[in-house]
Amino acid sequence: MHPSLLPRRIASVMTDSKKTPYAPIENRPLLGVDEVEALTGVPAKIIRANVRNGLLKARMAGSTTMRIRRADLDAWLDALPAWHA
């Protein structure tokens, strides 16, 4: 299908993938908040609040870009309380 017939967001992903190499989200050592949300299902608002509160470690990549190391994400997920029904 020609990119002009696809929704704009899908078309931009297709053209962006030709410009930069693609790495699956589960293989990336650093993740953005939106990627953490997609990977875990935890809303971005909660992720940002946990970073602000110091419960989830984040790194600054540049002056405004927050990235979360995969190891820090895994540690945060392991520290979440278990569900008791």
Q: How is domain 3-79 classified at the CATH fold level? A: Multidrug-efflux Transporter Regulator; Chain: A; Domain 2 (1.10.1660)
Assigned token pair, 3: 């990119």
Cα 48 off chain centre by = 11
Q: How confident is the model at residue 56 (pLDDT cuts 50, 70, 90)?
A: very high
Q: How confident is the model at residue 18 (pLDDT cuts 50, 70, 90)?
A: low
pTM for the model stands at 0.68
Mean pLDDT value of segment 45-61 = 96
Mean pLDDT value of segment 19-44 = 88
**Number of neighbouring beta carbons within 10 Å of residue 11:** 15
* DSSP assignments along 17-34, one per residue: HHHS----GGG-SEE-HH
How far apart CA 67 and CA 64 sit, in angstroms, is 10
How far apart CA 42 and CA 38 sit, in angstroms, is 8
Per-residue pLDDT, 40: 94
Per-residue pLDDT, 75: 97
